[in-house]
Amino acid sequence: MFEGSFVAIVTPFKNGKIDEKKFKELIEFQIKNGTSGIVPAGCTGESATLTHQEQKRLMKLTCEIVNKRVPVVAGAGSNSTEEAIDLTKYAKRAGCNGVLSITPYYNKPTPEGQYRHYKAIAKSVDIPIMVYNVPSRTGISLKPETVARLSGIDGIVAIKEASGSLDQVSSILSLCDITVLSGDDSLTLPMMAVGAKGVVSVVANIVPKEVHDMVSAFLQGDTGKARELHYRVLPLSKAMFIETNPIPVKTSMKALKRLNGELRLPLCEMEKENEAKLKKVLKAYFG
């Protein structure tokens, strides 16, 4: 299941509320363009400012819209183990195919604490779990040895690796056979070259077909086509992180007339200088 191009889908807002009609449009656009799976309520979906009620609504809504056409892997993590278990239980009830579970942030547990956190979730809910390692947001990173330990727990089957380190991916895959997906768009192809199976993508919000085609080409052995698409999309991938995600991707979608660009505080509109850089990249790509 955890193979291919998954989109870390944005959460559209309208006057401070989730815009469910627009959310449906975005999901249909993704499925039409070949996206392998939908990941709602992750970092790109501004989960940090969603209430648990809103997060659960997004899980259920995504499953209803997708209607089993592609896998739904819902963001269900927390720095509180009990909260993560509650969200994961709901994801299963809502019909999600799996969950994305971020490493506990802020309280910065030891490797043993990280292991016990994920073990408690896996033992509480029978659902495939993709661990999410993103030290730039959480202030802590999973050691490859910890990932190897986690891979021995039933239910923990994949990791979204967003440390930005190819050495990290190589170390993980040298120690265990857990499925690795890239969490850094610009590193998707390099990660796949050392054994990753795809990506949970931000840039796929705007170019889903290209990301899908790149990942599929590599998985099918057409490295030339994959490399060509990698270099074509690379400037866009880098531009998505000029400022904190999802500010640039939502700004891009607004420029492309696909979204109103509304964010929730403390996220706000881009600085003018950075917005000008972003629009220059968009113009070069889309004309």
What is the predicted pLDDT for the residue at 287? 85
Per-residue burial over 208-224, b = 16 or more CB atoms within 10 Å of its CB, e = otherwise: bebbbbbbbbbeeeeee
Q: Helices in 125-267 by DSSP H: which ranges?
A: 135-138, 144-150, 166-175, 188-193, 208-219, 223-239, 247-255
Classify domain 4-206 at the CATH class level: alpha beta
What is the predicted pLDDT for the residue at 150? 98
Output the tens digit of pLDDT for each of the chain's 287 residues: 899 999 999 999 999 999 999 999 999 999 999 999 999 999 999 999 999 999 999 999 999 999 999 999 999 999 999 999 999 999 999 999 999 999 999 999 999 999 999 999 999 999 999 999 999 999 999 999 999 999 999 999 999 999 999 999 999 999 999 999 999 999 999 999 999 999 999 999 999 999 999 999 999 999 999 999 999 999 999 999 999 999 999 999 999 999 999 999 999 999 999 999 999 999 999 98
Closest CA to 81 of 129, 50, 58, 114: 114
What is the predicted pLDDT for the residue at 286? 94
Tokens of 178: 């857990």
CA pair distance 22, 224, nearest whole angstrom: 36
Q: Give catalytic residue positions.
A: 132, 160
Residue with token string 């249909």: 28
CA pair distance 77, 217, nearest whole angstrom: 31
Closest CA to 128 of 149, 105, 159: 159
Domain ranges of the chain: 4-206
> Is the overall model pTM greater than 0.85, yes or no?
yes
103, 114 contact by CB (below 8 A): yes
